[in-house]
Structure 1
Amino acid sequence: MTVMKSVPEAAYGILLRNQCDSALDEAVEQVRNLGYAVLNSGYSDIELQAISDQFDSARERYVDAYGEAKLRSIDEYHSVRSPLTHGGGVFLNLAMNGNLLSVLKKLIPGKFILNQQNCVINPPQENYNQGAWHRDLPYQHFVSTQPIAINALFCVDDFTSENGATFVLPASHKAEAFPSAAYVRKNAVQLEAEAGSFLLLDCMLFHAGGFNRSQSVRRAVNHVYNIPYFKQQINIPNNMQGADLSPEMKEILGFDYMEPASIADYLLTREAKKY
């Protein structure tokens, strides 16, 4: 039996209070406070089916291109790297989702770029490399007053407790050290979400994929957006030269933040900033 909580609404002695006027604002507030939120992408059933179909096609081409044996030998068989550069426009559109960008603009002060986009597969009845606790800026033990990077994990399939939905440690983006085993057992939360949702995580939040006890794969497309001071996982601009992109797309994909190859190139970027 589900027990409904009766949450007090009245308050006193409060001088400052956040104001939320939309579901997007609520997601922003929760990410800031707890480090995670579930966001509706706004896609229709037809659009979700197209993403699902393109996911499977991109994965098939990827395995054909690089070889199953090689991918398994380097623990890369359950990933598809940078699908927006080779998997069709659906992945570019996913990275530019309107609801997602609206939230990112509220969470990350100033400019941000796409650091990486990867298809992720949680196989049934099998351990995989995302099933360990980690931050999406790994090996880092600092905290910041504002988010410097946000993980947006798009659910291609429903995320359930049975198929290994992501576990998070609420508010762990505010603590430098990884907590004790006892703390993890008591405080870990598993995030169930419908297909078409984004799981938004502050990249300093500790999280882990769950074990998939079902008989089917659980598919997702992971995105990391960060302030433009981090090197991209794979150089996106060099792999999308000639693509028909808007100025905003180019900025988010990192075209405006490529390292100058020479002093002359650097001086050209300085000249461009004058206009």
Structure 2
Amino acid sequence: MDNRYSYLEKNLATFDQTMNDYGWIIYENAIDHPFIEVIKKSLQEAYVVRREIQIANGIGAAMNGTLHHLISRNCFSLEFLSRKYCENEIKHFLKGNYILNSLGAVINLKDEMPYVQNIHRDIRSFTGNFKLMIQMMVVLDDFTMENGATYFLSGSHKSDLKPEQQYFYESAERALVKKGSVVLFDSNLWHAAGKNNTNEQRRVLTMAFTRPFFKQQMDYPRLLGYDFGNELSEDLRQILGYNSRLPENLNEYYQPIQKRMYQPNQG
């Protein structure tokens, strides 16, 4: 397959052609290994918190190994977003400014069957050539055939029809990639996590970026605090959604442009 490139050699022409033909692209050696270890350590603590809530709310079986909404003031997430990995590609794909829709992780464990192993796409409505969302996976452990490397059905981003299970597993490619790699893929692409048959964890960050008018899975500005946004760089304010908030009353609505909740250039 011709969808694997060095992060340092990426360019928009190659990105365009590869995303059109395959629907997914691999950039190797994108994340330095010391930062990967920081992320892994943070996931251990974050998983304990989320697992307790999942079990208490009766959804533990389906959610085992999944961590959602890792945005907080005191973890790796803000540092990660501030590095703006693949920013040019994301802006190009979404035709302008973008925001974070979600940032989570999957810890693929032996003998566990979380929902991410089902054949699925990450946007519920098929959008065809109008691109609303793009996915990013950050590989934290080498993906192998044995530990559940993700299945991607190349070209399936062009079809609204969910593939038959037999056809999918006979035709899909496996993302056999090294840790530190970034995988970008069209949110219309059909894919599924593989089954981990080893005794080791297979970890990956999963995130989605959208055009700013698309509703976030969680209100990150409200989660972090509106005042906290004043401490952030303009880039982080944009990515986290501080520039595309909704007013909740007329006083917030009737404001000069520079003070409006929903800023210009947000689509």
Does the TM-score normalized on the shorter chain lie above 0.5? yes
The verdict on how the C-alpha distance between 1:102 and 1:62 changes in structure 2, with shifts beyond 3 A counting, is: same
Residue deviations 1:213-263, cap 9 Å, x none? Answer: 111221111110011222111110011122531011101111111111123
Q: Distance in 1 between matches of 2:91 and 2:20?
A: 13
1:230 and 2:178 are equivalent in the alignment? no
Q: In the alignment, is the contact (CA less than 8 A) between 1:123 and 1:217 conserved in 2?
A: yes
The verdict on how the C-alpha distance between 1:72 and 1:41 changes in structure 2, with shifts beyond 3 A counting, is: farther
Residue deviations 1:55-109, cap 9 Å, x none? Answer: 2222234445x374546547334222211226x3412222343332232122220
Q: Which amino acid aligns with 2:24?
A: Y
More deviation in 258-267 or 207-216? 258-267
The verdict on how the C-alpha distance between 1:41 and 1:247 changes in structure 2, with shifts beyond 3 A counting, is: farther
Aligned partner of 1:23 among 10, 31, 35 = 10
Q: Distance in 2 between matches of 1:251 and 1:215?
A: 40
The verdict on how the C-alpha distance between 1:67 and 1:271 changes in structure 2, with shifts beyond 3 A counting, is: closer
Q: Distance in 2 between matches of 1:172 and 1:67?
A: 32
Q: Distance in 2 between matches of 1:122 and 1:27?
A: 28
Q: In the alignment, is the contact (CA less than 8 A) between 1:166 and 1:208 conserved in 2?
A: yes
Aligned partner of 1:121 among 89, 99, 107 = 107
- Residue aligned with 1:268, SS: coil
1:187 and 2:174 are equivalent in the alignment? no
Give % identity: 23
User: How far apart are residue 146 of structure 1 and its match?
Assistant: 4.4
Q: Which amino acid aligns with 2:211?
A: I
Aligned partner of 1:213 among 188, 191, 197 = 197
**In angstroms, what is the RMSD of aligned CA positions?**
2.6
Residue deviations 1:118-138, cap 9 Å, x none? Answer: 121211122111001111112
Q: Which amino acid aligns with 1:57?
A: E
The verdict on how the C-alpha distance between 1:41 and 1:54 changes in structure 2, with shifts beyond 3 A counting, is: farther
Q: Aligned residue for 2:181? A: 197
Q: Distance in 1 between matches of 2:169 and 2:61?
A: 30
Q: Aligned residue for 1:159? A: 143
More deviation in 49-58 or 175-184? 175-184
Q: Distance in 1 between matches of 2:158 and 2:209?
A: 19
- Residue aligned with 2:36, SS: helix
Residue deviations 1:19-71, cap 9 Å, x none? Answer: xx93243344312331101123633222222122122222234445x374546
Q: Aligned residue for 1:104? A: 90
Q: Distance in 1 between matches of 2:171 and 2:22?
A: 12
**Ranges in structure 2 where 5+ consecutive residues have no aligned partner:** 3-7
Aligned partner of 1:80 among 67, 74, 84 = 67
- Residue aligned with 1:200, SS: strand
1:59 and 2:47 are equivalent in the alignment? yes
Q: Distance in 1 between matches of 2:201 and 2:243?
A: 37
TM-score (norm 1): 0.82
Q: Aligned residue for 1:11? A: none
Aligned partner of 1:141 among 96, 119, 126 = 126
Q: Aligned residue for 2:32? A: 44
Q: In the alignment, is the contact (CA less than 8 A) between 2:149 and 2:175 conserved in 1?
A: yes
The verdict on how the C-alpha distance between 1:49 and 1:222 changes in structure 2, with shifts beyond 3 A counting, is: same
1:258 and 2:245 are equivalent in the alignment? yes
Q: Distance in 2 between matches of 1:67 and 1:177?
A: 31
Q: Distance in 2 between matches of 1:92 and 1:32?
A: 31
Aligned residues: 252
